[in-house]
Amino acid sequence: MESNQSSLSNILFNIFIPVMILNKGQKIGLNPTQALFIALSFPLCFGLYSLIKEKKMNYISVLGLLNILFSGILTILALGGIWFAVKEAFFPLLIGGFVLASSFTTNPFFKTLFLNPAAFNVSQIHEKLDTPEKQFQFENLMKTSTKWLSVSFLVSAALNFILSLYIFTPLADSLSVTEKQELLNQQLSQMTVTSMAVILIPMMIFVGSILYFAFKKTTKMTGLTMDQLFIK
């Protein structure tokens, strides 16, 4: 996740475009299997590009690939209801678990985000943490922020599960496989749009608050201004 690719590119190629292909593929003449393979090609190619260029694994591409793979398989098998609810909750729950576990290590996840030399003035931050007490306080800040960040993923998992149960209603046995797939595509589209307002925006506010808290604490420890924390 330390890739220098922009957040917009990551979201566009790993999430938005593949989901749109899965949702709208049948309208342009693709069957569910064709739509799945085309959708998978975007996070796969973007991940390989990042690996070659950055020499690092793009974990957003990996998660996007898995997410699209599970969505596509469930659609092809015409499985709705609780299956999609579990899928929608599983990925943020998995991420939240890994983030939480990292807070008990010497390299908490938030620290890898915060001490990114491409965005933050890392050398100056370290220079200002010039006493063991300040270094201890900073490490505790990184661990605390990581724990709060994990909460955002866990809350997202719960909201995803509840929203999915509401949107992905059980499919009637009287429907054909094709009709079930079309209905699932409609529900996927509704889930994508609704989750933006119900889940994504509140989570962005939550994460933004965590970042602001970490920035304010760091400026107090180091004596640097907010502008000095960032590379211009």
Please give the distance of CA 9 from its chain centroid, rounded to a whole number.
13
- Long-range CB contacts (< 8 A, 24+ apart) of 125-129? 125/218, 125/222, 125/224, 125/229, 128/221, 128/222, 128/223, 128/224, 129/221, 129/222
Task: Assign 5 a pLDDT band (cuts: 50, 70, 90).
Answer: very low
- Those residues whose C-beta lies under 8 Å from the C-beta of residue 79, and which sit 6 or more positions away, are none
- Packing angle between helix 82-102 and helix 132-167, nearest 10 degrees? 180
Q: What is the DSSP string of 36-56?
A: HHHHHHHHHHHHHHHHHHHSS
Tokens standing for residue 200 = 């994504």
Residues 6+ positions from 165 with CB-CB distance below 8 Å = 81, 82, 85
The pLDDT tens digits of the residues spanning 66-116 come to 877 887 788 777 777 788 888 888 888 888 888 899 899 888 888 887 777
pLDDT of residue 20: 77
Per residue in 182-212, pLDDT (tens digit) is 788 778 777 877 877 778 788 888 888 998 8
Give the Cα-Cα-Cα angle 103, 107, 111 (nearest 5 degrees): 85
Average pLDDT of span 2-19: 66
Does the structure show a pLDDT above 80 at 9?
no
Q: Per-residue pLDDT tens for 137-163?
A: 999 999 999 999 999 989 989 998 998
- The DSSP code for 81 is T
Q: Which of 69, 70, 16, 13 is nearest to 43 (CA)?
A: 13
pLDDT value for 148: 94
Q: What percent of the chain stands above pLDDT 90?
A: 11
